[in-house]
Amino acid sequence: MTKTRFAPSPTGHLHIGGLRTAVFNYFFAKANNGQFILRIEDTDKERSKDEYTKAILEGLKWCSIEWDDICYQSKRNDIYEKYLNKLFEEGKAYKCYCSKERLEKLKEEQMKNGENPHYDGHCRNLKEQPEDKPYVVRIKLPEEDIDFKDYVHGDMHFSYKEFDDFIIKRSDGSFMYNFTNVVDDIECGITHVIRGDDHLTNTAKQIALYRLFDKNPPEYAHVPMILGEDKTRLSKRHGAKSVLEYKDAGILPEALVNYLIRLGWSYGDKELFNREELIKYFNLENLNKSAAVFNPDKLLWLNAEYIKNMPPDELLSYLSGFLDESCKEYDKEYLKKAVETMQARANTLVELAEGMKFYCKKPDVYEGKGSKKYLKQSVKEPMLFLLEKLESADFSNEESLKEAFELTMKEFDIKMVKIAQPVRIGLTGRSAAPGIYEMLMILGKKESLERIEKVIDVIPNPSS
Active site residues: 236
Residue from 333, 334, 360, 355 nearest 430 by CA: 355
- State the Cα–Cα distance between residues 157 and 145, nearest whole angstrom: 7
In a 3-state reduction of DSSP, which class is residue 180?
helix
- State the Cα–Cα distance between residues 182 and 184, nearest whole angstrom: 5
CA atoms within 13 A on the CB side of 375: 23
Q: With the C-alpha atoms ordered 425, 428, 429, 435, is the resulting torsion angle positive or negative?
A: negative
Cβ-defined contacts of 370-373 (< 8 Å, 24+): 370/421, 370/425, 370/430, 370/431, 371/425, 371/458, 373/421, 373/431
In a 3-state reduction of DSSP, which class is residue 84?
helix
- State the Cα–Cα distance between residues 441 and 438, nearest whole angstrom: 5
Contact 122/76 with Cβ under 8 angstroms?
A: no
Helix or strand run (H / E) with residue 432: none
Beta-strand pair 3-6/192-196: unpaired
Contact 96/135 with Cβ under 8 angstroms?
A: yes
Contact 460/371 with Cβ under 8 angstroms?
A: no
Contact 21/6 with Cβ under 8 angstroms?
A: yes
Helix or strand run (H / E) with residue 25: helix 16-31
Edge-to-edge, what's the strand order for the sheet holding 136-139?
A: 93-96, 136-139, 167-169
Backbone angles phi, psi at 155, to 5 degrees: -75, 125
Contact 123/175 with Cβ under 8 angstroms?
A: no
In a 3-state reduction of DSSP, which class is residue 194?
strand
The beta-strand segments (E) located in 292-417 are 292-293
Helix or strand run (H / E) with residue 128: none
Residue from 441, 262, 273, 242 nearest 359 by CA: 441
